[in-house]
Structure 1
Amino acid sequence: MSQTTQTISRESLDVLDQLMKPEVQQSLTVLVDNLPKLAEMVTLLTKTYDLVQNVATDRVLIDDLKGGMEEFVKPIQEKVKSVAATAIEASDRAQAETATIGLFGLLKMLKDPQVQKMFRFAQAFLEVSAERQQNQRQS
């Protein structure tokens, strides 16, 4: 016999030896019993793979998604930049100001519409926070 034939014969015997083991036979029985489910799963995975491949290679869809995300993110990004610039400028002004704010200065500030808006926000925030804590305790 040639070496190739001997190698194939040895591999065939190894496969047969493996198939004779009870745990392998039991595993094969389970596989055969579940073939319909496995076929259904493979079909579903194949369809999912095909869909993902189509979506991943569809330049028009990718460009549309990118454009949609940019339209969504751009206003938020601009708002964040504006708030950051305002905070930096306010910080600079506060550090440059050395005058003490007294009682009458505070009373005058209370009439400022922006201060009133800030206090209404703080009050609403605290109310919502308290309501959520109370709901968590009840759950």
Structure 2
Amino acid sequence: MAETLSQEVEHEASTGRVETDILDQLMKPEVQRSLSELVENLPKLAEMVTLLTKAYDFAQSVATDRILIEDLKGGIGEFVKPIQEKVKGVAAAAIEANERVQTESATIGLFGLLKMLKDPQVQKTLRFIQAFLDVSAERQKQR
């Protein structure tokens, strides 16, 4: 099959048919307009190709620079580590609180609630909840 195709191409090339096809294409007005437009825009196209080549070269050099990659890994690690430690601390506190809840079966009554309201952490949490609800209400009014 490929042999037949190559023989046809050779035959067309030897008879000048390929050249005639190209010349026929070049004689079409739309092809001439397109070629004319391409020639007019060649300086812009050359500039774009130059910029793309520079961008490709830069990306290639960055992608293959092991030192830069290691520095980026280290920088990201330094940024993530404090967040990771904080999340681990919050998760550990939640687990410990859950364990305490499972072991305690005492009912919290009215006086227990009043005593809890004096706790600074409870006050901080209640202020946060109030602020969150205020912001949420303001945003709903804006819609």
Q: Which bin holds the TM-score, normalised by the shorter protein?
A: 0.7 to 0.9
Bigger CA drift: 85-94 or 66-75? Answer: 85-94
Partner amino acid, structure 2, of 1:79: K
What's 2:49 paired with?
42
Counterpart AA for 2:27: M
Distance in 2 between residues matched to 1:110 and 1:5, nearest whole Å: 95
Partner of 1:78: 85
Which of 91, 112, 122 matches 2:119?
Answer: 112
Q: Deviations over 1:69-117 (max 9, x none)?
A: 0000111111112211211221232233222211111000011121112
Matching residue within 38, 48, 64 for 2:71: 64
Correspondences of 1:1-139 after superposition (within 5 Å): 6-8=11-13, 9-134=16-141, 136-137=142-143
* C-alpha distance in structure 2 between counterparts of 1:11 and 1:85, whole Å: 77
* Cα distance per residue 1:112-136 (max 9 Å; x no partner): 12111211222232333344445x4
2:24 counterpart SS class: helix
Aligned length: 134
Q: With the length of structure 2 as denominator, give the TM-score of the two structures.
A: 0.81
RMSD between superposed Cα atoms in Å:
2.0
Q: Which stretch shifts more, 71-80 or 29-38?
A: 29-38
Closer, same or farther in 2 for the Cα pair 1:23/1:111, shift >3 Å? same
Following the alignment from structure 1 to structure 2, what is the Cα–Cα distance between the partners of residues 90 and 124? Answer: 25
CA distance in 2, matches of 1:10, 1:88: 82
Percentage of identical aligned residues: 75
The gaps in structure 1 that reach 5 residues or longer are none
Q: TM-score, normalised by structure 1?
A: 0.83
